[in-house]
Structure 1
Amino acid sequence: MATKSHGIEEERTHEIIKIEEGVHVEPSTTAKTNADIFCSSASVVTITQKLIAEVIGTYFVIFAGCGSVAVNKIYGSITFPGICVTWGLIVTVMIYTVGHISGAHFNPAVTITSAIFRRFPYKQVPLYVAAQLMGSILASGTLALVLDVTPNDYFGTVPVGSNTQSLVLEIVITFLLMFVISGTGTDNRAIGELSGLAVGMTILLNVFVAGPISGASMNPARSIGPAIVKHLYKGLWVYIVGPIIGAIAGAFAYNLIRCTDKPLKDKDLARGGLFLRASAA
């Protein structure tokens, strides 16, 4: 018995040394046995972690963004520019927080488009969309619980003008959003570390432009959650169809100009943000 225990300890010590040296190590038989007690497979753990990240990320995006809308309508202390900044900041923060876990979609339109262009597995699309809707509904429910939200203080999205006007705006601004996501988040020639900042600022700008007219949803989950909680479905189809069409068009447009993963002839343009690298150096 002592010899067996000694052998197991040596095996574990050997694995730890390899890990510290950066060498990939397959889990030992004992480790595999213990892991199987807690979960059926590694893939289940991985997708579960991703879904939890999407639920939490979407929750706080909606909680902060829609919360700023509700608080401004009730108390008038945030102002419209403050709402725009809040949306941009919360998306940026959550991208940097869970982007390395789930990809930080927080948006069914982004998830569907990523799958269409083969940058995301189709089988995970329903799970991601369900997680995003769950996060949005939970956040909307929290806001309805803690704030005295009247019909006039509705924090969802309703077309101010005609449905067509809001539909066109949603397509255009979501096109821009997905174009930026494709350029900064999927092209290996871009500066990946700045993708979260670029996406957050794009949302800020879009809310400035389209917010007073369509509400600048760009995200079906952002509109569906408040609609379900407050039972207000006026023009909801606009915020489902518009963002999906805009996202697909934006990704398609970027793929047209992507051409190749290799650097372009103009090295300064291909490296993108050369002045940032020079400044850092």
Structure 2
Amino acid sequence: MAGLYGSSPGLNMAAASGAELIGTFLLVLAIASTAVAGTLRDPAVGGAYNSLSMPLVNGLSLAALAVAFGHVSGAHFNPAVTVALAVTKRFPWGSVAPYIGAQMVGGVLAALLTWAMFGSAARSDAGLGATAPADGVSSLTVLLVETVVTFLLMMVVIAATTDERAPGAAAPLAVGFALAAAVFIAAPLTGAGVNPARALGPMLAAGTMTAWWAYLVGPIVGAVLAAVAYDRFVGKATAPD
């Protein structure tokens, strides 16, 4: 069974799961440390990070890590992506648990390292970059927003990395841009989880579990809907003559 980016994770599950752990760790570390630096207003080149830093770090990190690990594990780095691929028979159900376990461990370790790097204020004042609803945003709104933006991400993932008609060399960049767009949309409302490992890893380390279920359920529902929609409708379309 071919995975994303032409990978064959079933051939060496230990190596593939290890790649998922490392890749998710690096992705969440980049996101969480940037969020913490922005919250604490630590100086960077040119002053404190601004609101563009979150979409940029999400998109650029995912694009780079997809190139680095895509051929090994498929570069899921996201439990919602793994579940959606299994639902559409693009990934073996027997490999779902090792992948999700590796992704969640990577997310927690990244949050713990962020804590170690930035000190106690990273946890007490910045929540280790954990996502949280904005003021006045309900858990149901979080569920809706996270479903929609993960649908966007997964539609691009499945189209760019599994359809042979798509230009394969552009796939990591397309997926990175899609994640950046998702963060642009969701960040003002939910903090932009789009990934249970990214959302719940810092939450678990920080001990702040606000609306955690919405950050878990929303991405999974959105990713599965996108994968099914692509399989049954979008992917069957052909270009007009």
Q: Is TM more than 0.5 here?
A: yes
Equivalent pair of 2:115/2:123 in contact (CA under 8 Å): no
The match for 1:135 is 106
The match for 1:94 is 65
Mapped partners of 1:266, 1:191: distance in 2: 18
- 1:250 equivalenced with 2:226 (yes/no): yes
- 1:194 equivalenced with 2:170 (yes/no): yes
Equivalent pair of 2:123/2:206 in contact (CA under 8 Å): no
TM-score, normalised by the number of residues in structure 2? 0.88
The match for 1:70 is 36
The match for 2:133 is 159
Decide which of 209, 216, 219 is 1:240's aligned counterpart.
216
Q: Secondary structure of the equivalent of 1:80? A: coil
The match for 1:259 is 236
TM-score, normalised by the number of residues in structure 1? 0.76
**Match of 2:96, as an amino acid?**
V
Mapped partners of 1:121, 1:44: distance in 2: 8
Q: Name the larger-Rg structure.
A: 1
Aligned-residue CA RMSD (Å): 1.6
**Distance change (3 Å), C-alpha of 1:45 and 1:249:** closer
Cα offset, 1:87, TM superposition: 0.9
**Match of 1:153, as an amino acid?**
A
Q: Structure 1 stretch 121-130 or stretch 245-254: which is displaced more?
A: 245-254
Q: Which runs of 5+ in 1 are unaligned?
A: 1-42, 268-281
Mapped partners of 2:229, 2:10: distance in 1: 35
Aligned pair count?
A: 222
Give deviations 1:152-180, integer Å, cap 9, x for gaps. 31211111111111111101000111111
Q: Which runs of 5+ in 2 are unaligned?
A: 1-8, 43-47
Equivalent pair of 2:10/2:95 in contact (CA under 8 Å): no
Decide which of 216, 231, 234 is 2:192's aligned counterpart.
216
Mapped partners of 1:62, 1:137: distance in 2: 9
- 1:180 equivalenced with 2:156 (yes/no): yes
The match for 1:230 is 206
Mapped partners of 1:84, 1:253: distance in 2: 26
